[in-house]
Amino acid sequence: MKNELKRYASGFKLTHLFMIFGAFFIGASIIAQAFLIVDIVNKVFVEKTSFAEIVPLLISLLLVLVIRPFLSYLMGRAGVTMAATVKQRIRKALLGKFSREALLSSRMGQSGQKVSILLDAVDEIDAYYSKYMPQVFKTAVIPIFILIAVSTQHIETGLIMMVTAPFIPLFYIIIGIRTQKKSEEKLEQMTVFSGRFLDTIQGLTTLNLFRQSKKYRTIMEESSLNYRDATIEVLKVAFVSSLMLELISMLSIGIIALEIGLRLIVFNSMTFATAFFLLILAPEFYLSLKELGSAFHTGRGSMSAMSKISQELRNEKEEVTWGDRPIRSNEDPPTITLNNVSYQYNEGEFELSKLNFKIEPYSKTAVIGRSGSGKSTLLNIIAGLLPPQQGEITINEDPLTSIEEESWFSQISYISQNPYLFTGTIAENICIGSKNASQLEMEEAAEKAGISSFVASLENGYETIIGESGRGLSGGEKQRLALARAFLKKPNVILFDEPTTGLDLYTEKVLQTAINSLSENASMIIVAHRLHTIRKADHIIVMDQGKLIAEGTDNSLYESSELYRQMVSAQTEEVIL
Protein backbone atom coordinates (compact mmCIF):
# COMPACT_ATOMS: atom_id res chain seq x y z
CA MET A 1 0.00 0.00 0.00
CA LYS A 2 3.06 2.21 0.15
CA ASN A 3 2.80 2.64 -3.64
CA GLU A 4 -0.77 3.86 -3.22
CA LEU A 5 0.35 6.43 -0.66
CA LYS A 6 3.16 7.53 -2.96
CA ARG A 7 0.76 7.78 -5.89
CA TYR A 8 -1.42 10.25 -4.01
CA ALA A 9 1.71 12.23 -3.05
CA SER A 10 3.09 12.29 -6.61
CA GLY A 11 1.28 15.52 -7.45
CA PHE A 12 3.19 17.50 -4.80
CA LYS A 13 6.51 17.91 -6.62
CA LEU A 14 7.04 21.46 -5.38
CA THR A 15 6.40 20.30 -1.81
CA HIS A 16 8.93 17.50 -2.25
CA LEU A 17 11.47 19.96 -3.69
CA PHE A 18 10.89 22.30 -0.75
CA MET A 19 11.43 19.43 1.70
CA ILE A 20 14.70 18.47 0.00
CA PHE A 21 16.04 22.01 0.25
CA GLY A 22 14.65 22.31 3.79
CA ALA A 23 16.48 19.14 4.84
CA PHE A 24 19.64 20.43 3.12
CA PHE A 25 19.58 23.70 5.10
CA ILE A 26 18.67 21.93 8.37
CA GLY A 27 21.70 19.67 7.89
CA ALA A 28 23.86 22.70 7.22
CA SER A 29 22.48 24.48 10.29
CA ILE A 30 23.28 21.43 12.50
CA ILE A 31 26.89 21.48 11.31
CA ALA A 32 27.08 25.25 11.75
CA GLN A 33 25.53 25.02 15.21
CA ALA A 34 28.04 22.40 16.33
CA PHE A 35 30.96 24.40 14.87
CA LEU A 36 29.84 27.63 16.57
CA ILE A 37 29.28 25.94 19.96
CA VAL A 38 32.72 24.32 19.79
CA ASP A 39 34.39 27.56 18.67
CA ILE A 40 32.73 29.59 21.45
CA VAL A 41 33.55 27.05 24.18
CA ASN A 42 37.11 26.66 22.91
CA LYS A 43 37.73 30.41 22.81
CA VAL A 44 36.21 31.06 26.24
CA PHE A 45 37.59 28.12 28.24
CA VAL A 46 40.76 27.12 26.36
CA GLU A 47 42.03 30.25 24.66
CA LYS A 48 40.61 32.62 27.35
CA THR A 49 39.26 35.01 24.70
CA SER A 50 37.42 38.15 25.86
CA PHE A 51 33.63 38.30 25.69
CA ALA A 52 33.66 41.11 23.13
CA GLU A 53 35.42 38.87 20.60
CA ILE A 54 32.84 36.07 20.82
CA VAL A 55 29.77 38.34 20.52
CA PRO A 56 29.62 37.87 16.70
CA LEU A 57 29.81 34.10 17.25
CA LEU A 58 26.99 34.23 19.81
CA ILE A 59 24.82 36.24 17.40
CA SER A 60 25.56 33.72 14.63
CA LEU A 61 24.70 30.84 16.98
CA LEU A 62 21.42 32.51 17.95
CA LEU A 63 20.57 32.95 14.26
CA VAL A 64 21.30 29.25 13.55
CA LEU A 65 19.25 28.18 16.60
CA VAL A 66 16.29 30.12 15.17
CA ILE A 67 16.71 28.91 11.57
CA ARG A 68 16.75 25.19 12.39
CA PRO A 69 13.38 24.92 14.23
CA PHE A 70 11.84 27.38 11.80
CA LEU A 71 12.78 25.18 8.84
CA SER A 72 11.55 22.09 10.70
CA TYR A 73 8.25 23.88 11.33
CA LEU A 74 7.90 24.81 7.66
CA MET A 75 8.59 21.23 6.58
CA GLY A 76 6.04 19.93 9.08
CA ARG A 77 3.55 22.53 7.87
CA ALA A 78 4.10 21.44 4.27
CA GLY A 79 3.51 17.83 5.33
CA VAL A 80 0.29 18.76 7.14
CA THR A 81 -0.95 20.68 4.08
CA MET A 82 -0.12 17.73 1.83
CA ALA A 83 -1.90 15.35 4.23
CA ALA A 84 -5.01 17.55 4.33
CA THR A 85 -5.15 17.74 0.52
CA VAL A 86 -4.67 13.98 0.07
CA LYS A 87 -7.32 13.19 2.70
CA GLN A 88 -9.72 15.54 0.95
CA ARG A 89 -9.10 13.78 -2.37
CA ILE A 90 -9.55 10.33 -0.86
CA ARG A 91 -12.76 11.31 0.94
CA LYS A 92 -14.05 12.83 -2.28
CA ALA A 93 -13.24 9.58 -4.12
CA LEU A 94 -14.98 7.50 -1.43
CA LEU A 95 -18.05 9.74 -1.37
CA GLY A 96 -18.15 9.65 -5.17
CA LYS A 97 -18.02 5.86 -5.14
CA PHE A 98 -20.71 5.59 -2.46
CA SER A 99 -22.96 7.99 -4.37
CA ARG A 100 -22.45 6.13 -7.68
CA GLU A 101 -23.32 2.79 -6.20
CA ALA A 102 -26.70 1.45 -7.12
CA LEU A 103 -29.38 1.43 -4.43
CA LEU A 104 -28.94 -2.27 -3.63
CA SER A 105 -25.14 -2.03 -3.39
CA SER A 106 -25.29 1.02 -1.13
CA ARG A 107 -27.42 -0.91 1.34
CA MET A 108 -25.01 -3.84 1.52
CA GLY A 109 -22.82 -4.00 4.62
CA GLN A 110 -22.94 -1.90 7.73
CA SER A 111 -23.35 1.85 7.43
CA GLY A 112 -21.03 2.19 10.43
CA GLN A 113 -18.31 0.39 8.49
CA LYS A 114 -18.49 2.94 5.67
CA VAL A 115 -18.45 5.82 8.14
CA SER A 116 -15.40 4.29 9.85
CA ILE A 117 -13.51 4.03 6.55
CA LEU A 118 -14.54 7.53 5.48
CA LEU A 119 -13.50 9.15 8.77
CA ASP A 120 -11.20 6.97 10.87
CA ALA A 121 -9.26 5.14 8.14
CA VAL A 122 -8.68 8.33 6.15
CA ASP A 123 -7.47 10.13 9.29
CA GLU A 124 -5.04 7.27 9.91
CA ILE A 125 -3.10 8.07 6.72
CA ASP A 126 -2.45 11.64 7.92
CA ALA A 127 0.76 10.63 9.74
CA TYR A 128 2.33 9.25 6.56
CA TYR A 129 2.29 12.67 4.87
CA SER A 130 2.59 14.97 7.89
CA LYS A 131 5.29 13.03 9.81
CA TYR A 132 6.81 10.15 7.86
CA MET A 133 7.52 11.89 4.54
CA PRO A 134 9.16 15.03 6.03
CA GLN A 135 11.30 12.78 8.22
CA VAL A 136 12.31 10.65 5.23
CA PHE A 137 13.70 13.75 3.50
CA LYS A 138 15.49 14.82 6.68
CA THR A 139 17.03 11.39 7.26
CA ALA A 140 18.07 11.12 3.61
CA VAL A 141 20.12 14.34 3.90
CA ILE A 142 21.07 15.17 7.51
CA PRO A 143 23.00 11.96 8.45
CA ILE A 144 25.03 12.27 5.23
CA PHE A 145 25.89 15.88 6.08
CA ILE A 146 26.95 14.86 9.58
CA LEU A 147 28.88 11.82 8.36
CA ILE A 148 30.85 13.94 5.88
CA ALA A 149 31.59 16.57 8.55
CA VAL A 150 32.67 13.93 11.07
CA SER A 151 34.79 11.99 8.55
CA THR A 152 36.70 15.15 7.55
CA GLN A 153 37.62 15.67 11.19
CA HIS A 154 38.20 12.08 12.24
CA ILE A 155 37.77 9.17 9.81
CA GLU A 156 37.68 6.47 12.52
CA THR A 157 34.59 8.02 14.14
CA GLY A 158 32.96 8.21 10.72
CA LEU A 159 33.63 4.50 10.21
CA ILE A 160 32.03 3.68 13.59
CA MET A 161 28.94 5.64 12.52
CA MET A 162 28.78 3.82 9.18
CA VAL A 163 29.06 0.42 10.89
CA THR A 164 26.51 1.07 13.67
CA ALA A 165 23.97 3.15 11.71
CA PRO A 166 22.45 0.26 9.66
CA PHE A 167 21.32 -1.51 12.85
CA ILE A 168 18.68 1.17 13.48
CA PRO A 169 16.84 0.98 10.10
CA LEU A 170 17.24 -2.80 10.08
CA PHE A 171 15.56 -3.02 13.47
CA TYR A 172 12.62 -0.76 12.68
CA ILE A 173 12.02 -2.53 9.37
CA ILE A 174 11.74 -5.83 11.25
CA ILE A 175 9.52 -4.23 13.89
CA GLY A 176 7.57 -2.38 11.20
CA ILE A 177 6.38 -5.63 9.63
CA ARG A 178 4.88 -6.65 12.95
CA THR A 179 3.53 -3.14 13.50
CA GLN A 180 1.64 -3.18 10.22
CA LYS A 181 0.04 -6.52 11.07
CA LYS A 182 -1.04 -5.25 14.48
CA SER A 183 -2.29 -1.98 12.95
CA GLU A 184 -4.39 -3.92 10.46
CA GLU A 185 -5.91 -5.92 13.33
CA LYS A 186 -6.61 -2.69 15.23
CA LEU A 187 -8.23 -1.05 12.21
CA GLU A 188 -10.34 -4.15 11.56
CA GLN A 189 -11.55 -4.21 15.17
CA MET A 190 -12.30 -0.48 15.03
CA THR A 191 -14.34 -0.95 11.84
CA VAL A 192 -16.31 -3.82 13.40
CA PHE A 193 -16.88 -1.84 16.58
CA SER A 194 -18.01 1.29 14.68
CA GLY A 195 -20.36 -0.70 12.46
CA ARG A 196 -21.99 -2.55 15.33
CA PHE A 197 -22.26 0.58 17.46
CA LEU A 198 -24.00 2.65 14.79
CA ASP A 199 -26.33 -0.17 13.76
CA THR A 200 -27.22 -0.86 17.40
CA ILE A 201 -28.01 2.79 18.08
CA GLN A 202 -30.16 3.04 14.95
CA GLY A 203 -32.09 -0.13 15.89
CA LEU A 204 -32.31 0.52 19.64
CA THR A 205 -36.10 0.81 19.63
CA THR A 206 -36.50 -2.49 17.81
CA LEU A 207 -34.04 -4.19 20.15
CA ASN A 208 -35.97 -2.97 23.19
CA LEU A 209 -39.29 -4.13 21.74
CA PHE A 210 -37.92 -7.63 21.15
CA ARG A 211 -35.99 -7.66 24.44
CA GLN A 212 -32.66 -8.11 22.68
CA SER A 213 -30.92 -5.04 24.10
CA LYS A 214 -28.99 -7.05 26.73
CA LYS A 215 -27.75 -9.46 24.08
CA TYR A 216 -26.50 -6.62 21.89
CA ARG A 217 -24.98 -4.89 24.90
CA THR A 218 -22.86 -8.02 25.37
CA ILE A 219 -21.92 -7.98 21.69
CA MET A 220 -20.95 -4.30 21.94
CA GLU A 221 -18.89 -4.98 25.05
CA GLU A 222 -17.05 -7.79 23.27
CA SER A 223 -16.31 -5.56 20.26
CA SER A 224 -15.11 -2.79 22.56
CA LEU A 225 -12.77 -5.12 24.44
CA ASN A 226 -11.38 -6.55 21.19
CA TYR A 227 -10.66 -3.03 19.96
CA ARG A 228 -9.02 -2.20 23.29
CA ASP A 229 -6.81 -5.31 23.14
CA ALA A 230 -5.79 -4.55 19.54
CA THR A 231 -4.89 -0.98 20.51
CA ILE A 232 -2.82 -2.16 23.48
CA GLU A 233 -0.95 -4.60 21.22
CA VAL A 234 -0.04 -1.77 18.85
CA LEU A 235 1.11 0.43 21.75
CA LYS A 236 3.17 -2.45 23.18
CA VAL A 237 5.01 -2.87 19.90
CA ALA A 238 5.51 0.90 19.70
CA PHE A 239 6.99 1.07 23.22
CA VAL A 240 9.31 -1.88 22.61
CA SER A 241 10.38 -0.32 19.32
CA SER A 242 11.16 3.02 21.01
CA LEU A 243 13.10 1.29 23.79
CA MET A 244 15.23 -0.71 21.37
CA LEU A 245 15.94 2.31 19.18
CA GLU A 246 17.08 4.25 22.25
CA LEU A 247 19.24 1.33 23.36
CA ILE A 248 20.95 0.96 19.98
CA SER A 249 21.52 4.72 19.77
CA MET A 250 22.97 4.94 23.29
CA LEU A 251 25.31 2.00 22.70
CA SER A 252 26.51 3.53 19.42
CA ILE A 253 27.06 6.94 21.00
CA GLY A 254 28.79 5.22 23.94
CA ILE A 255 31.23 3.46 21.59
CA ILE A 256 32.02 6.76 19.88
CA ALA A 257 32.45 8.54 23.22
CA LEU A 258 34.76 5.78 24.46
CA GLU A 259 36.87 5.93 21.33
CA ILE A 260 37.11 9.73 21.50
CA GLY A 261 37.88 9.68 25.22
CA LEU A 262 40.72 7.22 24.76
CA ARG A 263 42.25 9.29 21.95
CA LEU A 264 41.81 12.56 23.84
CA ILE A 265 42.99 11.51 27.33
CA VAL A 266 45.01 8.31 27.03
CA PHE A 267 46.71 8.61 23.64
CA ASN A 268 46.55 12.42 23.44
CA SER A 269 46.06 12.18 19.67
CA MET A 270 43.03 14.47 19.36
CA THR A 271 42.44 18.13 20.20
CA PHE A 272 39.67 19.23 22.54
CA ALA A 273 37.89 21.16 19.77
CA THR A 274 37.78 18.11 17.49
CA ALA A 275 36.62 15.81 20.29
CA PHE A 276 33.91 18.25 21.37
CA PHE A 277 32.77 18.72 17.76
CA LEU A 278 32.43 14.94 17.25
CA LEU A 279 30.57 14.45 20.55
CA ILE A 280 28.05 17.15 19.64
CA LEU A 281 27.36 15.68 16.18
CA ALA A 282 27.15 12.01 17.20
CA PRO A 283 23.78 12.31 19.01
CA GLU A 284 22.43 14.40 16.11
CA PHE A 285 23.40 11.63 13.68
CA TYR A 286 21.54 8.93 15.58
CA LEU A 287 18.64 11.24 16.50
CA SER A 288 17.73 11.63 12.83
CA LEU A 289 17.76 7.86 12.37
CA LYS A 290 15.67 7.32 15.54
CA GLU A 291 13.10 9.86 14.44
CA LEU A 292 12.77 8.05 11.13
CA GLY A 293 12.21 4.86 13.11
CA SER A 294 9.35 6.45 15.05
CA ALA A 295 7.92 7.95 11.87
CA PHE A 296 8.30 4.59 10.11
CA HIS A 297 6.24 2.93 12.85
CA THR A 298 3.51 5.54 12.33
CA GLY A 299 3.77 5.17 8.56
CA ARG A 300 3.12 1.42 8.78
CA GLY A 301 -0.16 2.20 10.52
CA SER A 302 -1.00 4.55 7.64
CA MET A 303 -0.28 1.76 5.16
CA SER A 304 -2.77 -0.49 6.95
CA ALA A 305 -5.42 2.24 6.70
CA MET A 306 -4.58 2.80 3.03
CA SER A 307 -5.02 -0.92 2.39
CA LYS A 308 -8.55 -0.69 3.79
CA ILE A 309 -9.33 2.40 1.70
CA SER A 310 -7.91 0.91 -1.51
CA GLN A 311 -9.89 -2.27 -0.96
CA GLU A 312 -13.08 -0.21 -0.68
CA LEU A 313 -12.25 1.85 -3.78
CA ARG A 314 -11.37 -1.26 -5.82
CA ASN A 315 -14.38 -3.20 -4.62
CA GLU A 316 -16.52 -3.43 -7.73
CA LYS A 317 -20.15 -2.87 -6.99
CA GLU A 318 -23.13 -2.29 -9.18
CA GLU A 319 -23.19 1.30 -10.40
CA VAL A 320 -25.66 3.32 -12.42
CA THR A 321 -24.16 4.66 -15.66
CA TRP A 322 -24.84 8.24 -16.72
CA GLY A 323 -23.96 10.28 -19.78
CA ASP A 324 -23.48 13.97 -20.55
CA ARG A 325 -26.58 14.70 -22.61
CA PRO A 326 -29.31 16.99 -21.20
CA ILE A 327 -32.92 15.83 -21.50
CA ARG A 328 -34.56 16.91 -24.74
CA SER A 329 -37.68 18.63 -23.52
CA ASN A 330 -39.95 21.58 -24.17
CA GLU A 331 -40.75 21.85 -20.44
CA ASP A 332 -43.37 19.09 -20.75
CA PRO A 333 -42.88 15.82 -18.88
CA PRO A 334 -40.73 13.40 -20.91
CA THR A 335 -41.93 10.21 -22.55
CA ILE A 336 -40.51 7.24 -20.63
CA THR A 337 -40.21 3.90 -22.44
CA LEU A 338 -39.07 0.55 -21.04
CA ASN A 339 -37.71 -1.86 -23.65
CA ASN A 340 -37.17 -5.47 -22.45
CA VAL A 341 -35.96 -4.24 -19.06
CA SER A 342 -34.79 -7.01 -16.74
CA TYR A 343 -33.12 -7.03 -13.32
CA GLN A 344 -32.10 -9.84 -10.98
CA TYR A 345 -30.76 -9.29 -7.47
CA ASN A 346 -28.64 -12.44 -7.23
CA GLU A 347 -28.51 -15.63 -9.26
CA GLY A 348 -31.45 -17.83 -8.34
CA GLU A 349 -33.25 -14.98 -6.52
CA PHE A 350 -36.06 -12.63 -7.54
CA GLU A 351 -35.96 -11.41 -11.12
CA LEU A 352 -37.75 -8.57 -12.85
CA SER A 353 -38.20 -9.93 -16.35
CA LYS A 354 -38.53 -8.26 -19.80
CA LEU A 355 -40.78 -5.30 -19.03
CA ASN A 356 -42.13 -3.35 -22.00
CA PHE A 357 -44.39 -0.31 -21.60
CA LYS A 358 -44.54 3.43 -22.18
CA ILE A 359 -45.41 6.30 -19.84
CA GLU A 360 -46.89 9.24 -21.69
CA PRO A 361 -46.50 12.88 -20.58
CA TYR A 362 -49.03 14.03 -17.92
CA SER A 363 -50.32 10.49 -17.50
CA LYS A 364 -51.16 8.88 -14.16
CA THR A 365 -49.79 5.34 -14.09
CA ALA A 366 -50.63 2.93 -11.27
CA VAL A 367 -48.46 -0.14 -10.64
CA ILE A 368 -50.25 -2.89 -8.73
CA GLY A 369 -49.50 -6.47 -7.75
CA ARG A 370 -49.09 -8.81 -4.84
CA SER A 371 -46.36 -8.21 -2.27
CA GLY A 372 -43.00 -9.19 -3.72
CA SER A 373 -44.06 -8.84 -7.34
CA GLY A 374 -41.34 -6.24 -8.09
CA LYS A 375 -43.23 -2.95 -7.85
CA SER A 376 -40.67 -1.07 -5.76
CA THR A 377 -37.81 -2.51 -7.83
CA LEU A 378 -39.50 -1.16 -10.95
CA LEU A 379 -39.73 2.33 -9.44
CA ASN A 380 -36.06 2.19 -8.43
CA ILE A 381 -35.08 1.31 -12.01
CA ILE A 382 -37.20 4.09 -13.52
CA ALA A 383 -35.77 6.55 -10.98
CA GLY A 384 -32.22 5.63 -11.97
CA LEU A 385 -31.33 4.08 -8.61
CA LEU A 386 -30.85 0.59 -10.07
CA PRO A 387 -29.34 -0.12 -13.52
CA PRO A 388 -31.23 -2.47 -15.87
CA GLN A 389 -29.15 -5.61 -16.42
CA GLN A 390 -30.85 -6.18 -19.76
CA GLY A 391 -32.80 -3.87 -22.04
CA GLU A 392 -32.92 -0.12 -21.67
CA ILE A 393 -35.00 2.83 -20.52
CA THR A 394 -35.36 5.74 -22.93
CA ILE A 395 -36.29 9.31 -22.09
CA ASN A 396 -37.73 11.07 -25.13
CA GLU A 397 -36.11 8.29 -27.20
CA ASP A 398 -32.66 8.90 -25.64
CA PRO A 399 -31.22 6.08 -23.50
CA LEU A 400 -31.25 6.95 -19.80
CA THR A 401 -27.57 5.94 -19.65
CA SER A 402 -26.72 8.77 -22.10
CA ILE A 403 -28.47 11.45 -20.05
CA GLU A 404 -26.69 13.69 -17.59
CA GLU A 405 -27.37 12.59 -14.02
CA GLU A 406 -28.17 16.08 -12.75
CA SER A 407 -30.47 16.73 -15.71
CA TRP A 408 -32.53 13.60 -14.92
CA PHE A 409 -32.74 14.04 -11.16
CA SER A 410 -33.76 17.68 -11.60
CA GLN A 411 -36.85 16.35 -13.42
CA ILE A 412 -38.05 13.78 -10.90
CA SER A 413 -39.21 13.42 -7.31
CA TYR A 414 -39.40 10.07 -5.57
CA ILE A 415 -41.57 9.77 -2.46
CA SER A 416 -41.22 6.44 -0.74
CA GLN A 417 -43.13 4.89 2.15
CA ASN A 418 -40.46 6.17 4.54
CA PRO A 419 -38.96 9.42 3.20
CA TYR A 420 -35.66 10.26 4.88
CA LEU A 421 -35.49 13.44 6.92
CA PHE A 422 -32.19 14.86 8.11
CA THR A 423 -31.26 16.44 11.39
CA GLY A 424 -32.00 20.14 10.95
CA THR A 425 -34.87 22.58 10.69
CA ILE A 426 -38.14 21.87 8.91
CA ALA A 427 -37.26 24.61 6.43
CA GLU A 428 -33.91 22.99 5.63
CA ASN A 429 -35.59 19.63 5.07
CA ILE A 430 -38.19 21.12 2.70
CA CYS A 431 -35.57 23.08 0.73
CA ILE A 432 -33.07 20.21 0.47
CA GLY A 433 -33.65 19.86 -3.29
CA SER A 434 -34.24 23.56 -4.01
CA LYS A 435 -31.45 25.55 -2.42
CA ASN A 436 -32.34 28.83 -4.14
CA ALA A 437 -35.98 28.79 -3.06
CA SER A 438 -37.28 31.84 -1.21
CA GLN A 439 -39.06 31.75 2.14
CA LEU A 440 -42.36 32.54 0.42
CA GLU A 441 -41.96 29.71 -2.10
CA MET A 442 -41.12 27.30 0.67
CA GLU A 443 -44.19 28.31 2.70
CA GLU A 444 -46.43 28.00 -0.38
CA ALA A 445 -45.09 24.47 -0.98
CA ALA A 446 -45.82 23.56 2.64
CA GLU A 447 -49.36 24.96 2.27
CA LYS A 448 -50.01 22.85 -0.82
CA ALA A 449 -48.65 19.76 0.96
CA GLY A 450 -51.03 20.35 3.88
CA ILE A 451 -48.34 20.73 6.52
CA SER A 452 -48.42 24.51 7.07
CA SER A 453 -51.03 24.37 9.86
CA PHE A 454 -48.94 21.81 11.73
CA VAL A 455 -45.80 23.94 11.37
CA ALA A 456 -47.70 27.04 12.53
CA SER A 457 -48.59 25.23 15.75
CA LEU A 458 -44.91 24.77 16.61
CA GLU A 459 -43.17 27.36 18.77
CA ASN A 460 -40.33 27.94 16.31
CA GLY A 461 -42.34 27.29 13.15
CA TYR A 462 -40.20 26.38 10.15
CA GLU A 463 -37.05 26.79 12.27
CA THR A 464 -38.07 23.88 14.50
CA ILE A 465 -35.28 21.30 14.73
CA ILE A 466 -36.27 17.72 13.93
CA GLY A 467 -34.19 14.65 14.69
CA GLU A 468 -32.48 12.24 12.32
CA SER A 469 -34.94 10.20 10.26
CA GLY A 470 -37.67 12.65 11.30
CA ARG A 471 -37.71 11.78 14.98
CA GLY A 472 -40.50 13.75 16.60
CA LEU A 473 -42.77 13.62 13.54
CA SER A 474 -45.57 11.17 12.77
CA GLY A 475 -45.67 9.09 9.60
CA GLY A 476 -48.21 11.41 8.00
CA GLU A 477 -46.17 14.52 8.87
CA LYS A 478 -43.08 12.96 7.29
CA GLN A 479 -45.02 12.19 4.13
CA ARG A 480 -46.42 15.71 3.92
CA LEU A 481 -42.97 17.19 4.44
CA ALA A 482 -41.71 15.00 1.58
CA LEU A 483 -44.60 16.25 -0.57
CA ALA A 484 -43.64 19.83 0.30
CA ARG A 485 -40.19 19.08 -1.12
CA ALA A 486 -41.82 17.92 -4.35
CA PHE A 487 -44.12 20.97 -4.57
CA LEU A 488 -41.09 23.23 -4.13
CA LYS A 489 -39.04 21.33 -6.71
CA LYS A 490 -41.90 21.26 -9.29
CA PRO A 491 -40.78 18.02 -10.98
CA ASN A 492 -41.97 16.72 -14.34
CA VAL A 493 -42.04 13.10 -13.16
CA ILE A 494 -43.27 12.00 -9.73
CA LEU A 495 -42.74 8.50 -8.33
CA PHE A 496 -44.80 7.34 -5.35
CA ASP A 497 -44.16 4.08 -3.53
CA GLU A 498 -47.38 3.43 -1.60
CA PRO A 499 -47.16 6.82 0.15
CA THR A 500 -50.38 6.40 2.17
CA THR A 501 -49.65 2.95 3.64
CA GLY A 502 -50.30 2.77 7.38
CA LEU A 503 -51.87 6.23 7.67
CA ASP A 504 -55.22 7.06 9.22
CA LEU A 505 -58.11 7.97 6.89
CA TYR A 506 -57.94 11.72 7.54
CA THR A 507 -54.19 11.93 6.89
CA GLU A 508 -54.59 9.72 3.84
CA LYS A 509 -57.29 12.01 2.47
CA VAL A 510 -55.09 15.09 3.00
CA LEU A 511 -52.16 13.39 1.28
CA GLN A 512 -54.32 12.15 -1.57
CA THR A 513 -55.56 15.68 -2.23
CA ALA A 514 -51.98 16.98 -2.21
CA ILE A 515 -50.84 14.18 -4.54
CA ASN A 516 -53.63 14.94 -7.01
CA SER A 517 -52.69 18.62 -6.97
CA LEU A 518 -49.01 17.85 -7.44
CA SER A 519 -49.63 15.51 -10.38
CA GLU A 520 -51.62 18.08 -12.41
CA ASN A 521 -48.45 19.38 -14.08
CA ALA A 522 -46.41 16.17 -14.12
CA SER A 523 -46.41 12.52 -15.05
CA MET A 524 -47.20 10.36 -12.03
CA ILE A 525 -46.14 6.74 -11.46
CA ILE A 526 -47.55 5.32 -8.26
CA VAL A 527 -47.30 1.94 -6.60
CA ALA A 528 -50.91 1.72 -5.49
CA HIS A 529 -52.97 -0.46 -3.22
CA ARG A 530 -56.01 1.74 -2.62
CA LEU A 531 -58.95 1.10 -4.96
CA HIS A 532 -59.79 4.76 -5.55
CA THR A 533 -56.15 5.49 -6.50
CA ILE A 534 -56.05 2.58 -8.94
CA ARG A 535 -59.32 3.40 -10.68
CA LYS A 536 -58.39 7.08 -11.17
CA ALA A 537 -55.23 6.14 -13.05
CA ASP A 538 -55.01 6.63 -16.82
CA HIS A 539 -52.77 3.60 -17.17
CA ILE A 540 -52.65 0.55 -14.88
CA ILE A 541 -49.80 -1.97 -14.86
CA VAL A 542 -50.45 -5.34 -13.22
CA MET A 543 -47.37 -7.25 -12.05
CA ASP A 544 -46.87 -10.72 -10.65
CA GLN A 545 -43.60 -12.48 -9.78
CA GLY A 546 -41.51 -9.89 -11.58
CA LYS A 547 -43.47 -9.97 -14.81
CA LEU A 548 -45.90 -7.56 -16.42
CA ILE A 549 -49.00 -9.72 -16.91
CA ALA A 550 -51.50 -7.04 -17.95
CA GLU A 551 -51.85 -3.30 -18.61
CA GLY A 552 -54.63 -0.96 -19.59
CA THR A 553 -57.48 1.05 -18.05
CA ASP A 554 -59.64 0.01 -15.12
CA ASN A 555 -62.52 -1.16 -17.35
CA SER A 556 -60.37 -3.08 -19.83
CA LEU A 557 -58.38 -4.84 -17.12
CA TYR A 558 -61.50 -5.77 -15.16
CA GLU A 559 -62.71 -7.66 -18.21
CA SER A 560 -59.38 -9.17 -19.33
CA SER A 561 -57.28 -9.84 -16.19
CA GLU A 562 -58.33 -12.37 -13.56
CA LEU A 563 -55.64 -11.19 -11.11
CA TYR A 564 -56.86 -7.60 -11.43
CA ARG A 565 -60.47 -8.68 -10.78
CA GLN A 566 -59.32 -10.59 -7.69
CA MET A 567 -57.42 -7.58 -6.33
CA VAL A 568 -60.32 -5.22 -6.98
CA SER A 569 -62.75 -7.65 -5.36
CA ALA A 570 -60.50 -7.96 -2.30
CA GLN A 571 -60.31 -4.17 -2.02
CA THR A 572 -64.08 -3.89 -2.35
CA GLU A 573 -64.62 -6.41 0.45
CA GLU A 574 -62.23 -4.47 2.71
CA VAL A 575 -64.16 -1.27 2.09
CA ILE A 576 -67.48 -2.98 2.87
CA LEU A 577 -66.07 -4.50 6.05
pLDDT exceeds 90 at position 410: no
DSSP notation for 257-284 = HHHHHIIIIIS--S-HHHHHHHHHHHHH
Residue 418 lies in a domain: no
Task: Looking at the structure, tell me whether residues 105 and 20 fall in a common domain.
Answer: yes
Question: At 347, which CATH number?
Answer: 3.40.50.300
Whether 574 has a pLDDT exceeding 60, the answer reads: no
Q: Is the dihedral of CA 394, 396, 402, 403 positive or negative?
A: negative
What are phi and psi for residue 374, nearest 5 degrees?
A: 105, 15
Which range of residues forms the domain containing residue 525?
336-411+491-576
User: In the predicted model, what is the mean pLDDT of residues 21-39?
Assistant: 94
Residues 372, 298 share a domain: no
Give yes or no: residues 166 and 95 share one domain: yes
Q: Is residue 417 pLDDT above 60, yes or no?
A: yes
Give the burial class of 161: count Cβ atoms within 10 A of its Cβ; 0-12 exposed, 13-18 middle, 19 or more buried. buried
Quick check: 182 pLDDT over 80?
Answer: no
Name the nearest CA neighbour of 19 among 65, 63, 82, 89.
82
Which residues on neighbouring strands pair with residue 352, listed in sequence order?
343
Q: What is the pLDDT of residues 420-433, one digit of tens each?
A: 888 888 888 888 87
Where b means 16+ CB within 10 Å and e means fewer, 199-221 reads ebeeeeeebeeeeebeeeeeeee
The verdict on residue 451 lying in a domain is no
Q: What are phi and psi of 355, to 5 degrees?
A: -90, 130
Total domain count for the chain? 2
91 and 197 in a single domain? The answer is: yes
3-state secondary structure of 369: strand
- Domain assignment present for 429: no
The amino acid at 334:
P
One domain for residues 238 and 374: no
Do 304 and 401 fall within a single domain?
no
Residue 235 confidence (pLDDT): 75
What is the model's pLDDT at position 36? 94
Based on the fold, state whether residues 376 and 310 are members of the same structural domain: no
Q: Which residue has the higher pLDDT, 93 or 500?
A: 93
In this structure, are 161 and 86 located in the same domain?
yes
Confidence band, pLDDT 50/70/90 cuts, at residue 575: very low
Residue 110 has pLDDT above 80, yes or no: no
Could you give the CA distance from residue 125 to residue 130 in angstroms, rounded to a whole number? Answer: 9
Asked if residue 34 has pLDDT above 90, the reply is yes
Mean pLDDT value of segment 401-410: 88
In 396-504, at which residue ranges do the beta strands (DSSP E only) sit?
398-399, 412-415, 424-425, 465-466, 493-497
Q: What is the pLDDT of residue 175?
A: 67
- Same domain as 355, residue 306: no
DSSP assignment letter at 334: P
pLDDT for 189 beyond 70: yes
pLDDT at residue 148, rounded to an integer: 93
SS3 for 569?
Answer: helix
pLDDT digits (tens, 9 = 90+) for 296-355: 767 777 877 888 888 888 876 667 788 888 887 667 888 999 999 998 877 667 788 889
Buried b (16+ CB within 10 A) or exposed e, 481-511: bbbbbbbbbebbbbbbbbbbeebeeebbebb
Same domain, 105 and 179: yes
Residue 573 has pLDDT above 60, yes or no: no
Mean per-residue pLDDT over the chain, rounded: 83
Query: pLDDT digits over 248-306, tens only?
Result: 889 989 999 999 999 888 888 888 999 999 999 999 999 888 888 777 767 777 877 88
pLDDT tier at 577, thresholds 50, 70, 90: very low
pLDDT over 90 for what percent of the chain?
23
Same domain, 558 and 497: yes
Model confidence at 522: pLDDT above 60: yes
Q: Residue 424 corresponds to which amino acid?
A: G
Mean pLDDT value across residues 465-486? 79
